A and B are shown apart, each in its own frame.
Chain A
Amino acid sequence: MTSISSASAAFTGRDPGNRLYGPVPDVTEQSGYTDEHPARVGFFTDTSVCIGCKACEVACKEWNTLPMDDSHGVRDAIGLSGMSYDNTGQLGANSWRHVAFIEQSRAVDLPMPTFGRPGDDRQGSGPSVSGCGDHDSTAKAQASVLNVEALSEFDPQTGQSGADKQVRWLMSSDVCKHCTHAGCLDVCPTGALFRTEFGTVVVQGDICNGCGYCVAACPYGVIDQRKDDGRVFKCTMCYDRLTDGLQPACATACPTQSIQFGDLDELQARADARLATLKDQGVETARLYGRDESDGVGGVGAFFLLLDEPEVYGLPPDPIVTTRDLPAMWKAAGQAAAMMIGVAVTAILGSRRR
C-alpha cells in the first residue's frame, strides 16, 4: 500500500501525462484545493542586493528550532570551511537556508607588479612583470579561497575599478525551490510530503518514516535526512507562520529585501521588472533562474535573480524532475494496484457499515 499514492496518478484517467511535467496553471487546485484557496506563494531571491549577512539562516533556525549543523552543538564538530565566508556549505536537514559566497577576480589591463616585502630587494624593487602571466586562473584557484573565474564580463554594478584586478563577491541565499513538479513529493510513498493550500511543498514530520526516497528524487539536492532522527527535513516556507498571516522568518528578517515573499505571480512580475532595470543599467550578466514554467520542474515557487551562470552558485543549470517519466513506467503497474486498492477499500467500507 505504501506505493499507492505515487502510482495513483496512473489510473485516474485524468490526463496523467500533464501532471508530472510541464506547466501547470494552478498547482494548488490540482492538489485538491478545489474550493477557494490562497494564491500560490513563493520566494523571489534577488541576489544582486544580497549582502551575505545570513540573517535568513539564523531567522530560519530560530523559528524552526533547528539544531546546529552537527546536530549536537559539539564545538569540535564545527570548523572553518576555508570557502570564503560560507561555513554552512549546503542546504541540509538542519540548514534550510544557505548563503553561498562566490569570490571572483579578473585581472585588468594594467602592468602587474610582483610583490615582495618592503625593503626586500630581490622582490620588491625588481622590474614589474607586465601582463597577466602570473595570474592564470589555475594558480589562483589553488592559492585563494574560492576563485571562480568570472564566466562573463563583470557588470558595472559590481565590477570594481581602481585596482589592478577587479573583484566580485557574489552572495546568494539558497532554499528549497518548492517546485511545481516536486520530485520529492511525487516519490514519497507515505504521503509525508504534501502540497499545502499555499502551493508550497512540506514534509509532515508525523508521517515521514525516513525511507529517504525523496532525497534522491530532488534535482537540487535540497531535502536531507537528519542523522540522529532518520526523518527528512527541509524548508516549509514557514507553513505555520503562513497560517497566521505572517511571512516566512527568512523573508521577514532579510535586511535588504534580497529575499522577497509573496504571491508567486506578483513576484514573477516584480522579478521581470527588476531584470529589465538591471539590463537597462547594463548589467548584462543578470538572469532569472527557476522563473520559466516550461523548464524541467514546471517552474519553481522559489526562484532567483542571479548575476552569473547557475553553476557558479552551485545550482543545477537545467534541473529536471526525476519523476518525469513515471506515468509511462507505471501505466501497467497502476492497473494492478488499482485492483488491489479497490478490493481493500470495499472490504473496509463494507465491514464498517455493519
Chain B
Amino acid sequence: MSRVKTWLDSWPVYRQLTGSDPFGRGKAARSKGTEATVSRTATADRVVKSVCPYCAVGCAQNVYVKDEKIVQIEGNPDSPVNRGRLCPKGSASKQLVTSPTRVTTVKYRRPFGTEWEDLDLDTAMEMIADRVLEARKKGWQDEDGGKRVNRTMGIASLGGATLDNEENYLMKKLYSAMGAIQIENQARI
C-alpha cells in the first residue's frame, strides 16, 4: 500500500485532486527532478579561498571543488572590498579555468618550421636551459663603455601582471643572478 501511495503521490493529477493544489500549478506539479534539486554549492567537497585574476580590484572568490574539479566560482561575501560581488569577467572565471580550448601540453615550433610539434615537458625544460646558457654567453658583457656591467643582453623577459608576487620574486632573482637585465612587466605598460 505504501508503494501504491508513493506511486500515486508521484502522479500529479492525483496530488492535484487530493491535495491543496487543485490547479496543479504548484506543489502538486513537482516532478522527480524538482524534488531531487540540489545546489552544487551544497554538494561541493570543499570551498577554497581565492582572488579574481582579472583587474586589480582584488575581489575575493570562493572556489567550489567537487571530485577535484571546479564546479563554481563566485564572490566571497566576507570581503571588505567586493562584498561577494563580481563583474562579468570575474563571473566567467570558472569558464577561464575549465575552458576546453586551454592548451595543456607543450607545443614546439622548430626554426623555419611550418607546424607545431608535441614535446614532453622535461625535454622542453632541458632544451630551454640549453638555450638560456647559450644566449647568456652570446650576449654577455663584462663592460660597456669602459664600465663594469656583468650582464647579458641576450635574454629578455616580459611578464604579465597576473604573476604572483612569489613568482615575480623568483623571476627577478634568477634573472639577476644570470645577468639578464631586460626584464619587464605589464606594469610598465
Residues of A within 8 A of B (CB): 1, 4-5, 8-9, 12, 14, 19, 28, 30-34, 53-55, 57-59, 62-63, 185-186, 191-197, 202, 204-207, 239-241, 243-244, 246, 249, 252-255, 341, 345, 349, 352
Closest to B23 in A: A9
Cβ 8 A contact of B17, one of A33, A191, A196, A345? A345
Residues of B within 8 A of A (CB): 4, 7-8, 12-14, 16-17, 19-34, 37-42, 72-75, 82, 84-92, 94-95
Cβ 8 A contact of B94, one of A28, A62, A239? A62
**A33 cross-chain contacts in B, Cβ below 8 A:** 20-21, 26-27
User: Is the beta-carbon distance between B14 and A345 smaller than 8 angstroms?
Assistant: yes
User: Is the beta-carbon distance between B94 and A53 smaller than 8 angstroms?
Assistant: no
User: Is the beta-carbon distance between A55 and B95 smaller than 8 angstroms?
Assistant: no
**B72 cross-chain contacts in A, Cβ below 8 A:** 62-63
* A191-B29, A206-B31 as given contacts; A58 in contact with B42, CB under 8 Å: no
User: Is the beta-carbon distance between B25 and A240 smaller than 8 angstroms?
Assistant: no
* A1-B13, A9-B23, A194-B26 as given contacts; A244 in contact with B42, CB under 8 Å: yes
For B8, B17, B29, the residue with the greatest tally of chain A CB atoms inside 10 Å of its CB is: B29
User: Is the beta-carbon distance between A253 and B74 smaller than 8 angstroms?
Assistant: yes
User: Is the beta-carbon distance between B12 and A5 smaller than 8 angstroms?
Assistant: yes
User: Is the beta-carbon distance between A53 and B25 smaller than 8 angstroms?
Assistant: no
* A204-B31, A204-B34 as given contacts; A249 in contact with B23, CB under 8 Å: no
* A12-B22, A345-B13 as given contacts; A54 in contact with B88, CB under 8 Å: yes
User: Is the beta-carbon distance between A241 and B17 smaller than 8 angstroms?
Assistant: no
For A8, A31, A32, the residue with the greatest tally of chain B CB atoms inside 10 Å of its CB is: A32
**A253 cross-chain contacts in B, Cβ below 8 A:** 74-75, 85-87, 90-91
Q: CA of A12 to CA of B21 in the docked complex: distance in angstroms?
A: 10
**B38 cross-chain contacts in A, Cβ below 8 A:** 240, 243-244
* A1-B13, A207-B31, A252-B85 as given contacts; A59 in contact with B91, CB under 8 Å: yes
User: Is the beta-carbon distance between B33 and A31 smaller than 8 angstroms?
Assistant: no
For A31, A53, A192, A341, the residue with the greatest tally of chain B CB atoms inside 10 Å of its CB is: A31
* A206-B33, A341-B17 as given contacts; A32 in contact with B26, CB under 8 Å: yes
**A241 cross-chain contacts in B, Cβ below 8 A:** 39, 41
**B92 cross-chain contacts in A, Cβ below 8 A:** 58, 62
4 closest A-B pairs by CB: A31-B26, A32-B21, A32-B27, A244-B39
**A244 cross-chain contacts in B, Cβ below 8 A:** 38-39, 41-42
Cβ 8 A contact of B88, one of A32, A55, A192, A239? A55
* A31-B25, A345-B17 as given contacts; A55 in contact with B91, CB under 8 Å: yes
**B91 cross-chain contacts in A, Cβ below 8 A:** 55, 58-59, 62, 249, 253
**A9 cross-chain contacts in B, Cβ below 8 A:** 22-23
Cβ 8 A contact of B25, one of A4, A194, A204? A194
- Chain B: minimal CB distance from A34 (Å): 4
Closest to A250 in B: B91
**B17 cross-chain contacts in A, Cβ below 8 A:** 341, 345
**B39 cross-chain contacts in A, Cβ below 8 A:** 240-241, 243-244, 246
Q: CA of A95 to CA of B171 in the docked complex: distance in angstroms?
A: 43
Contacts beyond the supplied A32-B26, A195-B29, A204-B31: 6 A-B pairs with Cβ under 8 Å? A33-B21, A58-B88, A197-B27, A206-B31, A252-B84, A255-B87
**A53 cross-chain contacts in B, Cβ below 8 A:** 87-88
User: Is the beta-carbon distance between B74 and A59 smaller than 8 angstroms?
Assistant: yes
Q: What are 7 pairs between A and B in contact, CB < 8 Å?
A: A8-B23, A32-B20, A192-B31, A193-B25, A193-B29, A206-B34, A240-B39
Q: CA of A59 to CA of B90 in the docked complex: distance in angstroms?
A: 9
**B30 cross-chain contacts in A, Cβ below 8 A:** 194, 204
**A59 cross-chain contacts in B, Cβ below 8 A:** 74, 86, 88, 91
- Chain B: minimal CB distance from A60 (Å): 9
- Chain A: minimal CB distance from B41 (Å): 5
Q: CA of A310 to CA of B39 in the docked complex: distance in angstroms?
A: 34
